[in-house]
Amino acid sequence: MQLHKEGFAMRRWFVLAGCAVVSVVSVGPSFIVSFGIYMVPMTRALGWSRTQFSFLFFLTSTSIGAMALFGGHIIKRYGTRKLIWIAIVGVPAMYASYGLVHSYLVATAIAVGAGLVGMYSGYVLLFAVLTRWFDRHLGLAVGVIAASTSVGAMLFPPMVTYIVGIFSWRSAFFLIALIMLVVGALSAAVLIRENPGPLPEPERRKSVSSSDDEANATSGASFKEAVYGGAFWSFVIGFSLIALISYGINLHLPAMLHDRGFTPMQGASALATLAAAMMISRFVGGILLDHFQPRYLALVFFVGQAVAALLLLSKAGGAIPWIAAILLGCASGIDGDLIPYCMRRRFGAKNFAPIFSTAYAVWNLGQALGGPVLGMVYDRVGSYGPLLAVFPVFSLIAVAAVFFTKVEPPAAVPRVVGETTGSR
């Protein structure tokens, strides 16, 4: 009996490993981060503008956000295992479909489909799996998944660039899709399991009373109080502006460097550097949030993003594009930490899921708009310069929106039992 319990407890680490591997080949690294590698070869071959290409990114991002609004209810009804298999098969299928595309209308359908099925390979579903296995070590599990996504974001750009250089962009879609399918399927089949019962014994919190558990689950603002209030929209607008800049430049960075005479592999290297900075800032940012108020982290990292845009505007060579990529990655990483943290701290636990999913959907819209806006400006004036000059202003608006909005709930909103303000 004891051996059975120990085996069940050990299983959670295999589940975490499986979710981490799926995260590496999920829609984020494949479609969101590395898609810009295809911009130059696809627009040349198919006669599309950069605006049209960027709109495909917009459709995928907004589809992910739209599906996220309903994702929790769908997961609750159908379970995680069926949906994760839909994503594991569906995301590579959508990716490979781009290798066959000749019509722009077909490409838009693929982009939407990638977002709809891809949402179930990302955070929403993977965290639904892991919260059934982890509680005491849930922070560690979340950190592993966030880091794994960034690892995928580091691996995909050089792989895609290498295959495009050796074969063609169509071949790259087929080969990368095959890798995604094999890796994801093996991980789901061998490692990932649902936990229909109670948490494993090592994950149960012994120091928290049942009355505290009940209070934690029932305190906080209502959904209406949150989304009708100014604090919610100050946070969301600020974080969405940061996402617009980071992911917009991320999509166009390889093409931007190509226009300046850099090689495709150098463009991929800059993109991988951005992903590495994002991974590190997510880990470090989580630690810093335990010691510093979010407004000060926003001030430092978001101003860094403004500096990055100015560095790219300068068209300086050498290491400058890589320095800009690091600053952009750091801003994007801390942005991802601050969204759930500020929503949870300001509005409490009671309605966190619907409040956060709404914020996440709006944030996805900001993420999605950056690429098309940059594409339209480039197609109109033949340069990214006008927007790179405006982006620092957006970053500073985001700083003001977060810095002057209190993360602590007002007295009218009940505090979560046992939560202290500390130095936050």
pLDDT tens digits for range 187-237: 888 887 877 666 666 656 555 444 444 444 446 778 888 888 889 999 999
Band of the pLDDT at 154, cuts 50, 70, 90? confident
Q: From residue 282, how far is each of 105, 119, 144, 325 by CA, in Å? A: 37, 20, 10, 15
Measured between alpha carbons, how far is 288 from 286 in angstroms, rounded to an integer?
6
Residues 6+ apart with CB under 8 A from 357: 68, 69, 71, 72
Measured between alpha carbons, how far is 335 from 358 in angstroms, rounded to an integer?
16
Which tokens in the block code for residue 214? 């009940």
The answer on 115 and 24 residing in a single domain is yes
Measured between alpha carbons, how far is 340 from 359 in angstroms, rounded to an integer?
9
The winner for highest mean pLDDT among 235-239, 315-319, 380-384 is: 235-239
CATH for 95: 1.20.1250.20
Q: Is the pLDDT of residue 248 over 80?
A: yes
Q: Is the pLDDT of residue 381 over 70?
A: yes
The answer on 270 and 177 residing in a single domain is no
Q: Is the pLDDT of residue 76 over 90?
A: no
The answer on 155 and 266 residing in a single domain is no
In a domain, 6, yes or no: no
Contact in structure between 57 and 35 (CB atoms under 8 Å): yes
Domain count, the chain: 2
Among the ranges given (34-48, 304-318, 334-348, 369-383), the one the predictor scored with the smallest mean pLDDT: 334-348
In a domain, 15, yes or no: yes
Which tokens in the block code for residue 373? 């806006």
Predicted TM-score (pTM) of the model is 0.70
Residue 135 main-chain phi, psi, to 5 deg: -140, -60
What is the model's pLDDT at position 84? 86
What is the model's pLDDT at position 239? 93
The answer on 351 and 248 residing in a single domain is yes
Q: Is the pLDDT of residue 342 over 50?
A: yes
The answer on 241 and 304 residing in a single domain is yes
The answer on 257 and 126 residing in a single domain is no
Measured between alpha carbons, how far is 400 from 16 in angstroms, rounded to an integer?
38
What is the model's pLDDT at position 217? 44
The answer on 177 and 228 residing in a single domain is no
Range of the domain at 396: 219-412
In a domain, 344, yes or no: yes
Residue 322 main-chain phi, psi, to 5 deg: -75, -35
What is the model's pLDDT at position 106? 95
In a domain, 161, yes or no: yes
Q: Is the pLDDT of residue 412 over 60?
A: no
pLDDT tens digits for range 86-139: 888 999 999 999 999 999 999 999 999 998 888 777 766 776 777 677 766 665
pLDDT tens digits for range 293-307: 888 989 999 999 999
Residues 6+ apart with CB under 8 A from 368: 57, 58, 59, 60, 61, 62, 65, 247
How would DSSP label each residue in 6-73?
Answer: HHHHHHHHHHHHHHHHHHHTSHIIIIIISGGGGHHHHHHHH---HHHHHHHHHHHHHHHHHHHHHHHH
In a domain, 1, yes or no: no
What is the model's pLDDT at position 54? 86
The answer on 223 and 190 residing in a single domain is no
The answer on 236 and 155 residing in a single domain is no
Contact in structure between 348 and 416 (CB atoms under 8 Å): yes
The answer on 176 and 41 residing in a single domain is yes
What is the model's pLDDT at position 139? 59
Band of the pLDDT at 345, cuts 50, 70, 90? confident
The whole-chain average pLDDT of the chain stands at 81
Mean pLDDT of 43-64: 89
Of 194, 209, 235, the residue at which a domain comes to its end is: 194
Among the ranges given (60-64, 379-383, 395-399, 418-422), the one the predictor scored with the smallest mean pLDDT: 418-422
Measured between alpha carbons, how far is 126 from 276 in angstroms, rounded to an integer?
21
The answer on 298 and 163 residing in a single domain is no
In a domain, 299, yes or no: yes
In a domain, 65, yes or no: yes
Q: Is the pLDDT of residue 290 over 90?
A: no
Dihedral sign computed on CA atoms, order 316, 322, 323, 327: positive
In a domain, 421, yes or no: no
pLDDT tens digits for range 29-38: 887 778 888 9
pLDDT above 70 as % of the chain: 83
The answer on 316 and 230 residing in a single domain is yes
Q: Is the pLDDT of residue 398 over 90?
A: yes
Residue 355 main-chain phi, psi, to 5 deg: -65, -45
Measured between alpha carbons, how far is 275 from 325 in angstroms, rounded to an integer?
8
